[in-house]
Structure 1
């Protein structure tokens, strides 16, 4: 047997139960125009056992504190129905050169007076979470998108309204 140390593990995994600072800054509801392009995948399992995915931008995600995430979803999305049925979802994304996978417990948020968006608002708590990265490569992005110039301002305005709704409902819980 050799007394030499084991070689370093190529995969770094870190478990967390509070949003790291970089994620809190990403999901703080501010500077939405500068954060366009970021995409998170919200995964859920339907009654047939099929995985359903909703792709979300920063205008649909808001972290009011270190352990909570509020989400705005379209009611007709299959992922929305699956989440409403079982109260569970998984959020995956790339941030700060790491891959994040967060298991969430999900509950509905109440409607706020004057909201006519038609969106479903949810509040989530971290059940378990981890990051993964490797020493030999940097993750620079996950799924990304670019807003079309025509309609860009309308999307950013909608996102601002959605974030305000999430802030108000999160504060009233």
Structure 2
């Protein structure tokens, strides 16, 4: 189970699913209004993820951590930036992943199958697992290059 907890606005469903794959508790609903996101973030000590500059501004006025997602970035770049800023672990391990549908905890059923303890959706390591790993490898590469550049510039 990962330490940081997130809440994403209505425009970041894909990012929410990726963070859940990585094992991060990430709340997401298309129905969340800005005031609800701020209230939940404050009550649960969650980092707000948003593409809405206004929401990010209001969050920061409330002393809440907010990550503004640039619309020009792809998912690998966004994950890399989150890894750098919040030290998220870019490792996909289904034993620690969360349900991409409801954010529930997954329970291992057998060697290659997991089931959500909340919504009962089943997951398995199929052909899609290679695609997941490839995106994570790209995100790691981007974060390592960026960290190398910033470390080199500071010396």
TM-score (structure 1 length as normaliser)? 0.26
**Structure with more contact order per residue of length (Cα contacts < 8 Å, sep ≥ 6):** 1
Is the radius of gyration larger for structure 1 or structure 2? 1
Counting helix residues as a fraction of each chain, which structure ranks higher?
A: 2
